[in-house]
Structure 1
Amino acid sequence: MVALDGPSGTGKTTVARRLAQRLGAGYLDTGAMYRAVTVAALRSGADLSDGEALATVAAKADVVVGTDPCSPSVKLGEEDVSAEIRGEQVTASVSAVAAVPAVRERLVTLQRELIAAGLESAGGMVVEGRDIGAVVVPDAGLKVFLTADPDVRAARRAAQDSAAGRPAEQASVRAAVDRRDRLDSTRAVNPMRPAEDAVHLDTSELDIEQVVTALLELLSQRDLLDTTGAPQ
């Protein structure tokens, strides 16, 4: 079980998927789950400052997340919302939704269920988010907190948005990244923070393959790979 935490723009999602593919493990993007609930909240017209309303939305939302790293999916019921969750409005709103204690409680329960199922079916899981090692799976065999220089992170995020056809002006992206960091790290419940025993890995000057290699080395050093190469 590998827990990858850290802010946006550190390469977390791409690294987690590639590592899971390399290991033949399952993959879970917990941030996508909060974004899916945010889509449900925006569609419902809920007041994003009303915690009770957002808790009701989360309780009713049928969030379905695929754990295959080769074809991850995010659905609300039968509807694929994988593209919608990456939109500008969702990105600007997700921190408010994720800060609600009842929303976090609901999704952490679901995340743990998905992780347990993935461990049983695939034999290993790579899970990414902002509170995985500290809250969701504190007994993960390897906990890593990815970091990177803020300007590097903003440039990466802008490149991702541009590639996906979304507006991407680096100054505004940097402002959005800083805002998200501030909101996620200062929320009252389960703020973004590294687990006490997490390994800190700065990806500023590393490409994706170099980060994956570093993670594989950490797993090997800790004797956390079984005979099939899956994380224990």
Structure 2
Amino acid sequence: MTAPLTIAIDGPSGSGKSSVSKAVARRLGVGYLDTGAMYRALTWWCLEQGVDLTDGEAVARAARELPLDIGTDPGAPTVAVGGTDVGEAIRTTRVSTAVSAVATNLDVRAVMRTLQRDLMARSAEQTGGVVAEGRDITTVVAPDARVRVLLTASEEARLRRRSAELHGSVDAAAVEATRDQVVRRDRDDSTVSSFTEAAEGVVLVDTSDLDFDESVEAVLDVVAAETAE
């Protein structure tokens, strides 16, 4: 029997890792896990429950009790907490500006790692593989993944992409309004995870000068090369 294909993709904000990872998973017919959505879901839950995000123990306790249901179908990924669909709510500015306080909590990350590995294993068992993306998937969560990719892009390119996504514009004002969510979050998250330089055995894919389709093909090329017999 062929072992499940596990693909780990890391990258900074705006590098295209979520959209590219979903497309790669669809092309390969395997599952998809957005680990960043898990931290966002926990952040949303804490805000809804009135948990003080500066209280590390309280946030870690919330992580252990989080009633999370995350779907791994790349064609229709879902995120629900306590039966409530939070797919849109976790992408709001309210959550985006607060998520680093949760994602940099080391106790929270330990809880999430266990859950992420379980979700990856279940998805891979069901579909024959999984594409998991985030910040420390290639180095901490799944260092033994068959394919490991660091998807990156220049700061200018990342700001432009996220600005278009959030504001529908790439003019100077829109880009500046996006800067905090991209640059600050990357700076904060880099204190607990490494996603700016490719670790040994991790293939670097720079999408600065690539459009979406080209970025997808670039990752698929890496998968083909890494899995060639």
TM-score by length of 2: 0.91
Contact 1:144–1:198 under 8 Å retained in 2: yes
2:184 pairs with 1:179: yes
CA-CA distance at 1:53 after TM superposition: 1.0
The equivalent of 2:202 in structure 1 is: 198
Q: 1:220 aligns with which of 209, 217, 224?
A: 224
Structure 1 unmatched ranges of 5 or more:
226-232
CA distance in 1, matches of 2:154, 2:199: 20
Describe the SS at the equivalent of 1:27: strand
Distance 1:220 1:45 in 2: 47
The answer to whether the 8 A contact 1:66-1:74 is kept is yes
Distance 2:141 2:159 in 1: 27
Match for residue 215 of structure 2? 211
Kept after mapping to 1: 8 A contact 2:10/2:137: yes
Q: How many aligned residue pairs are there?
A: 219
Q: Distance in 2 between matches of 1:224 and 1:51?
A: 45
Distance (Å, rounded) in 1 between the aligned partners of 2:180 and 2:106: 26
Give the Cα separation in 2 of the matches to 1:106 and 1:66.
Answer: 19
Does the aligned pair in 1 maintain the 2:8–2:131 contact within 8 Å? yes
Q: Does 1:48 align with 2:57?
A: no
State the Cα distance separating 1:144 from its structure 2 match.
Answer: 0.7
For residues 177 and 54 of structure 2, the distance between their equivalents in structure 1, rounded to whole angstroms, comes to 24
Alignment partner, residue 24 of structure 1: 29
The Cα shift of 1:106 comes to 1.2
What is aligned with 1:115?
A: 120
Aligned residue among 2, 9, 32 for 1:4:
9
8 Å contact from structure 1 (residues 134, 196) kept in 2: no
- CA deviations over 1:179-220 (Å, ceiling 9, x no partner): 011101123xx4445432211111011011111111221222
Percent of pairs identical after alignment?
47
Q: CA RMSD of the aligned region, Å?
A: 1.5
Whole-angstrom distance in 2 between the partners of 1:58 and 1:221: 38
The aligned residue for residue 111 of structure 2 is: 106
Distance 1:224 1:97, change over 3 A: farther
Candidates 126, 135, 141, aligned match of 2:140? 135
Secondary structure (helix, strand or coil) at the match of 2:160 reads: helix
SS at match of 2:51: coil
Contact 1:141 1:224 in 2 (8 A): no
Structure 1 residue 151 and structure 2 residue 156: aligned? yes
The change in CA–CA distance for 1:15 and 1:108 in structure 2 (over 3 A counts) is same
User: Which one of the candidate residues 57, 69, 79 is aligned to 2:62?
Assistant: 57
Q: Is the 8 A contact 1:145 1:200 kept in 2?
A: yes
Q: Please report how far the alpha carbon of residue 178 of structure 1 lies from its aligned counterpart in structure 2 after TM superposition.
A: 1.0
- Matches of residues 152-167 of structure 1 in structure 2 within 5 Å? 152-163=157-168
Runs of 4+ in 1 over 2 A off after TM superposition: 190-196, 222-225
